[in-house]
Amino acid sequence: MMQQTPEMNSTALKTAKTQLRSLMKQRLASIPPESIASQSGLTSLQQPGQIPPYVNAKNVAVYLSMPHGEIQTDLIVRDALSSGKRVFIPYLHKSGLPAADGPTRLMDMVSLRDVEDYEALQRDKWGIPSVDAATVNQRQRSVGELGGERSEDASLDLILLPGVAFDTDPSTGVIRRLGHGKGFYDYFLHRYTLAASEQDRAPGGRPSVLLYALALQEQFLPPSSEHTVPVGPHDQPIDGVFLGDGELRMSPTDR
């Protein structure tokens, strides 16, 4: 696979990401469902319930998982709702932007009311529980823009992200993430950064929201791997990743 260098142009970067996604797709397809279920239980029950970022978070955004190939988030959603947290989940909608001005589809985070609301979600063609568009205007949103209409933005304390592959930058120790290639989270985080108020910013100007990913053991590339996660200037580093063996890998706190 192509390795990233500081001079890697956009075409080479795109090619490197495509190659790694293809490799990981094959690797993830071979993981038995029992292993995914076991790893999801370890990640969900042992780690988030024990660390301050999750325990202290009042507003948590979390992806809703596909049936296969990634950590299942059902237990996390239920735990967060039952413990009194406000839970936000992804909602995809048309952006209304011309193709030349930005993505045609946007991802926002919209609130769940309770466990019953979560259980009533219908699965989409990928098997992911999805919000009914008819209910969106009854929900709190972050970032609060839909169809050109603004609503009060809900600030988030913690976002639990999906991903395809992860590793540690050998020079900085930062955890790097390769997404699915649609750019939904990258663009959401860009918009969230623009919308964040001064009180919602950490020293240095970045939003104070914490970014943690959930990953199967097979998705984390060790230093001995011949492959690395290629990143560009617009790829958002993350604060840490919960692995399916119960381990938590974190980026340096002074990044």
Give the range among 30-39, 47-56, 162-171 with minimum mean pLDDT: 47-56
- Is a pLDDT exceeding 70 seen at residue 152? no
- Is a pLDDT exceeding 50 seen at residue 226? yes
Averaged pLDDT score across all residues of the chain: 86
211-222 residues labelled b (16+ CB within 10 A) or e (exposed): bbbbbbebbbbe
Give the range among 96-105, 110-119, 194-203 with minimum mean pLDDT: 194-203
Q: What are phi and psi of 168, to 5 degrees?
A: -110, 130
- Is a pLDDT exceeding 90 seen at residue 17? yes
Distance CA 78, CA 80 (A): 6
Residue 237's CB: how many other CB atoms inside 10 A?
Answer: 15
Q: For residue 6, what pLDDT band results from cuts at 50, 70 and 90?
A: very low
Q: What are phi and psi of 198, to 5 degrees?
A: -60, -40
Domains along the chain with CATH numbers: 10-249 (3.40.50.10420)
Distance CA 150, CA 183 (A): 22
Residue 21 has a pLDDT of 97
Residues 6+ apart with CB under 8 A from 243: 39, 43, 215, 216, 217, 220, 249
Read off the pLDDT of residues 154-191 as tens digits, 9 standing for 90 and up.
789 999 999 999 999 999 999 999 999 988 998 888 88
Residue 2 has a pLDDT of 38
Residue 207 has a pLDDT of 63
